[in-house]
Amino acid sequence: LSLTGYIQACRGLMISAVCLGFFGAVFGLIGMKCTKVGGSDQTKAKIACLAGLIFILSGLCSMTSCSLYANRITSEFFDPSFVAQKYELGAALFIGWAGASLCIIGGIIFCFSIAENSNSARRGYAYNGATSVMSSRTKVHNSVPDKTSPKHFDKNAYV
């Protein structure tokens, strides 16, 4: 608790970003179509959209934390009256910005996944089965019992 206020704020924002990311991942798993938990497709779409919003909020918390810390570092670095140890922007900040950007982009993708389900209804396609030349000929000749072997063999003739 003896740290300065901006470092405590950055820590709090990063901890909240991690917690929000965890809950976003849980809601994202529940909202996927491939899971059996979560109810109907409309309910799953709403849960997926909620997961997207949580991911966006997590990315914004992380982006705010990294930007706040970077702003403080650059303002101290270019201040000629600052006499304490000066820091530079490191790899952790760039990884934090990249992770926050990916979190926001992933959240947007999750939010747009609900638009596909609500705007257009899926058309079902009926599968009539594969018909071969032999099977269509045998349907016509099945009314008359014939003991002669067929001249054309389909894939079931050898089994």
As a whole number, the mean pLDDT across the chain is: 82
CATH of the domain at 118: 1.20.140.150
In a domain, 22, yes or no: yes
3-state secondary structure labels for all residues of the chain? CCCCHHHHHHHHHHHHHHHHHHHHHHHHHHHCCCCCCCCCHHHHHHHHHHHHHHHHHHHHHHHHHHHHHHHHHHHHHCCCCCCCCCCCCCHHHHHHHHHHHHHHHHHHHHHHHHHHHHHCCCCCCCCCCCCCHHHHHHHHHCCCCCCCCCCCCCCCCCC
Lowest model confidence (mean pLDDT) among 35-39, 56-60, 76-80, 113-117: 113-117
- Residue 144 maps to a domain: no
Domain ranges, residue 60: 2-77+93-126
Is residue 142, in this structure, part of any structural domain at all?
Answer: no
Q: Is residue 140 part of a domain?
A: no
pLDDT band (50, 70, 90) for residue 85: confident
Please state the pTM of the whole predicted model.
0.68
Say if 82 falls within a structural domain. no
Q: Report the alpha-carbon distance of residue 109 to residue 70 in Å, rounded.
A: 28
Residue 62 falls inside a structural domain: yes
The answer to whether residue 130 scores a pLDDT higher than 80 is no
Q: Is pLDDT of 54 > 90?
A: yes
Residue 44 lies in a domain: yes
Q: Is residue 83 part of a domain?
A: no
Structural contact between residues 80 and 152, judged by C-beta atoms closer than 8 angstroms: no
Q: What percent of the chain has pLDDT over 90?
A: 43
CB 108 within 8 A of CB 52: yes
Instruction: For residues 99 and 95, give the distance between their C-alpha atoms in angstroms, rounded to a whole number.
Output: 6
Instruction: Kindly state the average pLDDT of the residues 138-157.
Output: 58
Number of domains in the chain: 1
**Is the pLDDT at 137 greater than 80, yes or no?**
no
Tokens 């409309």 correspond to: 42
Whole-number percent of the chain with pLDDT over 70: 73
* Chain mean position to CA 133: 46
